Structure 1
């Protein structure tokens, strides 16, 4: 799997315009969330966007190959992805660019962690 790194610099998230958000809304009910799985440090899940939705996402959310960049939380939430707190978009599997990989610390949100 190729890894894409976080965008460098202090630029904030690129939020969707109203018209961009409106074009994506019809796809939101069809976003598919995997069951969670974990290792000793993190829990993981993948989020599968409808392939047609990927075409509607603005190009500046993608790299030169049309693969989604690593999105900041405000950006992926703006696309209509809904998850509890603590999830980080950390990788995109380039052969299947509609699948976003997320992780968060295994004990996230528990007292003392």
Structure 2
């Protein structure tokens, strides 16, 4: 079954450095930023665990968005699959998406550890 695909819906993928900057600045904005001297160690630990979980969730969501946006080559019209292969190289494309999926999995495991 061939899927009609809207290539315009693909979000722009930031560079690795920008990707990290975007996520970390969001973490900084959306989580508490001050630890007071009198806080118990459990509260300090919770403070950092919350940041780790928040960061992990944002990486997960952003990577999932990318993986969802980009088409599965076997599902789209052969013309577009061939075009992607000529312009980008099908194997490299699949490898890149696979590496993103692996990165998401590793980040999720980091989040689980905390």
Higher-helix-fraction structure: 2
Scaled by the length of structure 1, what TM-score is found? 0.28
Higher-strand-fraction structure: 1
**Comparing both chains, which one has the higher relative contact order based on Cα–Cα distances under 8 Å and sequence gaps of 6 or more?**
2
